[in-house]
Structure 1
Amino acid sequence: MTTGQPPVVPIRGTTRLYAVLGDPVAQVQAPALLNPVLAELHRDAVVVPVHVRPQHLETVVRGLQRVANLDGMFVTVPHKAAVRRLADRCGATVGIVGSANVLRREADGGWLAENFDGSGFVAGLVGAGHEPQGGRAALVGAGGAGSAIAAALLAAGVDRLCVYDTDTVKLSGLVARLDVRWPGRVHALTGPHLRDVDIAVNATPLGLRADDPLPFPLEPLPPGCVVADIIMKPRETRLLREAAARGHRIHHGIHMLEGQLNSYRAFFGLR
């Protein structure tokens, strides 16, 4: 009898593991999204959340790398920049943006880091009908996910990208790296005031908690601007609720993860 429920993955002694590392970790959507995919592919594997404090990141990652039946790790806030140094090799995107959101065990036992946040975000935008090419974008948050999204928006053809982060060292470093590849198209902002843009993106953790302030004011945004958030839980952040009330088009965080599914499947050989 068909119940409409996703197939259940039985856990056995042969089961392969994938860990999702974050702090906090209660909001992660990767297990709910990826475990049904593994079940449909008849893979004896499961994705599990692992709550890791920043001060314990290296200890936990080094331990997981020695777990013989663990094939990969997904990495979320706030570990994406720090985790790259724990990999043996880094993909091209990691070198550009300075952060990673996934690690894979290689055949020789080494670990390869890559970042699909940016490509997933852009794939989600395009899939929702928000074409970035030729537009003007602004991004608040130059951390692990934000840096990847910035590079992907430039690669997708935005004419102008403005970026703001409270950490001015992190901000200037990102802008300098991006300017080498996309000269003249990246600009650092001195505050979170986004004007004259077609796409405004929150790539900070602001919105995870109900009492968080807005990452940027909505008043200066022009009519018709797309307001995007990368936070996946809650789905309707305060930013998105207030932007929708002002008549802006909104773009939910889950689209970024959905846009990464094909990349994850290829990266881990899940066919």
Structure 2
Amino acid sequence: MDRRITGTTHVVVHLAYPSHHLRTPTYFNAYCAEHGHDAVLVPWQVAPENLAAAFEGLRRIDSLAGVIVTIPHKTSVAGLCDSLSDTAGFLGVANVARRTPDGRFHGEMFDGAGFVQGLVREGRSINGRNALLLGAGGAATGIAEALVRGGVARLAIANRSMDKAEELAVRLRSAFAGRDIVAAPADARGFDLVVNGTSLGMKAGDPLPVDPETLEPGALVAEVVMEPDVTPLLRLASKRGCGTHRGVHMITGQIELLARFLLDEPGA
């Protein structure tokens, strides 16, 4: 399909550091071509110390529809936005921000919704599961909220900083009264859903986010890491007799949400 870029093309930039692993532009641009959106997503590698200056400059770009955000910028971008959705405001993270004509940015968080939608599309139900979430950063925060909203029976959050895991658990318990949400060690025994919400596995030599010996056969092990397509955790989980769910499904599950948020008129 013709993907000409013209003087009227809406530009979306994908803020990341590093950016070499990004796969979202491929899926987003294919979606725009298929649905007739005159828009293009371009990866931008921006170091954390330069993010605020880059974001300020983007306010002045009339052709900019907005930004998509990934590691390590989701929390920082939420702080740079002029307004946030209820979900992004509650979580304190944003993975997308729409630019308004006056140069203001409105942030939203679709990682959680995209993750759950990706599971649903692959025929995986989360309702009633006992879930262990590894990580409490930007993507993990969104996934935690979506897992609870989606009906897991129990959510345990494991993080290198136990204080950060406990802080997220407290916030979720305040929003979902009566739900079983705790901070816990990275031990998968007793869980039938294990989600790696960290970046561990993206680089060769990364430690595993959980001891694979604690993975129980029959459990579903899910990733947010998209590159490599099959991470060391997923390979070991498969050998343990676990089901596996690749990180790419979190992106394919939210491409439509991202495109509509960035390219449709608000309220349309």
Q: Would you say same fold, with TM above 0.5?
A: yes
Contact in 2 for aligned 1:8/1:36 (Cα 8 Å) = no
Q: Which residue of 1 aligns with 2:211?
A: 217
Within the alignment, does 1:90 sit opposite 2:84 as a pair? yes
Please, which moves more after superposition, 145-154 or 54-63? 54-63
Unaligned ranges ≥5, structure 2:
none
Question: Which of residues 166, 169, 174 in structure 1 aligns to 2:163?
Answer: 169
> Do the aligned residues in 2 keep the contact of 1:96 with 1:178 (CA within 8 Å)?
no
Q: 1:104 is aligned with what amino acid? A: R
Residue deviations 1:141-170 (CA, integer Å, cap 9, x gap) = 100000000000000010100001112332
**Cα–Cα, structure 1 residues 269 and 16, in superposed 2: closer, same or farther, change >3 Å?**
closer
Whether the 8 Å contact between 2:166 and 2:182 is mirrored in structure 1 is no
Distance 1:107 1:65 in 2: 9
Q: Number of paired residues?
A: 264
CA distances 1:33-57 after superposition (whole Å, capped 9, x unpaired):
0111112233322100000111111
For residue 188 of structure 1, what is the aligned residue in structure 2?
183
Q: Which residue of 2 aligns with 1:36?
A: 30
1:57 aligns with 2:76: no
For 2:14 and 2:156, how far apart are their aligned partners in 1? Answer: 30
Structure 1 position 206, deviation (Å):
0.5
Aligned to 1:3: none
**For the Cα contact (< 8 Å) 2:62–2:101, is it kept in 1?**
no
Structure 1 SS opposite 2:74: coil
Corresponding position of 1:255: 249
Query: Which residue of 240, 257, 261 corresponds with 2:234?
Result: 240
Contact 2:28 2:259 in 1 (8 A): no
Counterpart residue type for residue 194 of structure 2: A
- The structure 1 residue matched to 2:191, chosen from 167, 178, 197, is 197
- C-alpha distance in 1 between matches for 2:122 and 2:2: 30
TM-score normalised over the length of structure 2: 0.94
Deviations 1:154-188 (Å, cap 9, x if unpaired)? 00010100001112332222111101012341110
Letter in structure 1 aligned against 2:116:
V
Supply the distance in 1 between the matched residues of 2:175 and 2:8 (Cα, whole angstroms). 45
Q: Which runs of 4+ in 1 moved over 4 A?
A: none
Q: CA deviation at 1:198?
A: 1.2
Give the C-alpha shift of residue 221 in structure 1: 2.0
Q: 1:30 to 1:8 in 2, by over 3 A?
A: farther
Report the secondary structure of 1:130's partner residue.
coil
Structure-2 separation of matches of 1:180 and 1:124: 27
Q: Secondary structure at the match of 1:219?
A: helix
The SS at the match of 2:253 is helix
Where in structure 1 are there 5+ consecutive unaligned residues? Answer: 1-6
Q: Which amino acid aligns with 2:143?
A: I
Distance 1:15 1:241 in 2: 41
Write the letter of the residue equivalent to 1:188.
A
- Looking at structure 2, the residues matched to 24 and 8 of structure 1 have their Cα atoms a distance apart, in angstroms, of 29
Amino acid across the alignment from 1:214: L
What CA deviation, in whole Å up to 9, does each residue of 1:107-162 have, x standing for no partner?
55421100000011011112212211111100011000000000000000101000
